[in-house]
Structure 1
Amino acid sequence: MSSQLGFFAVSVPPPTGRIVRPQVVAKNDEVAICSDEEAMARHLEATGNYRILRKLQPRRIVGRPRPEFRRHGVILDTETTGLNYRFDEIIEIGAIAFTFNDAGAIGDVTGVYGGLQQPTIPIPPDITRLRIYAENSPFDMKDHLKARGYRWSDGSDGRPKSWWIELPEEKLEEELHFLRTEIYRWDADPPVKYLTALDRFWVA
């Protein structure tokens, strides 16, 4: 793990009594919307019809933490080949060091560590999974995909720009049948990527 993975989510305060509405101005016979994205998000939330997800920003790692946060903590995350401590092995460790105060408020991130280890035993098949990408699926089928557990990838992380789902290998044929009969309505061959635990939890 080489990023903070959103451990320090900053809560978004509820909208105040005064609703800031996005400004609409005319420019060169075109309509331009004010670039204040947070104001637009709060306006949508205030209607009661929307819930807005905000991208979490990693905190900067500091060399000199603020003195008012004098306590130190570490968040430790591990991935293993299984749950039996006698036989299974750790294959990944991630850690975030941070400071906090007596009230429990998070202060600064002081260090991040991520490491992988090749296990001496094969990774069990039950933790080997695969990803199916429903590329070029019809737009009007998006609600059906969401209801089945598919998530959207915008392509910014190197994955295909499409809906995708992660499944156990034994569910592959069942899922392909669903896509071909319910979504594409033809004998499509969507991309399938086989994953191991190392692949799934690796952060570039």
Structure 2
Amino acid sequence: MSQPLESIAAVLEGTGDYRVLRRLQPLADHPGTPDEPTFIGLVVDVETTGTDFAADEVIELGILKFEYGASGRIYRVLETLNQLHEPRKPIPAEITRLTGITDADVAGRRIDDAAVARITADAAVVIAHNASFDRQMCEPRWPVFRDKNWGCSCHQIPWRAEGHEGLKLGYLLADCGLFHRGHRAIDDCHALLALLARPLQVSGQLALAALLATARKPTVRLWAQGSPIETKELLKARRYRWSGRRRCWYIDLDEDQIEIERSFLIEAIYRRPISDLPADRFTARDRYSARTNPEQGA
């Protein structure tokens, strides 16, 4: 924003009656040489023809490759990839309304699979905002993503505890006084990287550091096998989810919460001693993958 416009914005904000949102600018490189071990990360976003992992296709892929330190500080963007892809079927009208991507935009376009493999090869972590969607859309098309550690910026950062009411990128940016053109892959990547580089509002911890700390923890999926049907409301209130494939309620927890949860199940659900509840353990290597999707299986 130019200086005269900034002055106007400052006057408006100074009244207390207005909030001014500034257009997001791509993250600038951090000055100086890193004084800590550094790693390679990717921010990934896809636009698709729908949400059916088996039937729908990626029509736009955005990737930002960046260098970050052990502290969670982001130092610089190393490479950008932003490509369109023509699907087998016409793009649904609701997708065009959401993204602005038309059949004419993607006609004859193909995502360069070799470029995706090259840019992804040395990444220590892949981050997406709602990684369970992006990972399951990316893995079948680009096998290089299958063995990567994935993190979810939507669910692995405690946004609400840090003073945010919404989890969508647009809401989080607005809380920071920013806006962007949403629902285009590379624009969403730039928005997410900017959020990851910022300190959180309450704790002051860098958002990327908070995400990485959570992503490193193993997840245990505890199955409430054979739970009485009359306890389903208790389980739902406890944030258990139902797997139609396994006909069983389950919950995903950090490893250190499992014994507390077993005690709850014994006291409130089964009301008897029980020691053989099935549990699955997984890490960032397979979290959010179809391999750990209880409705799909490996």
Q: Same-fold call, TM > 0.5?
A: no
More helix by share: 2
Bigger radius of gyration: 1
Q: TM-score, normalised by structure 1?
A: 0.40
Q: TM-score, normalised by structure 2?
A: 0.29
More strand by share: 1
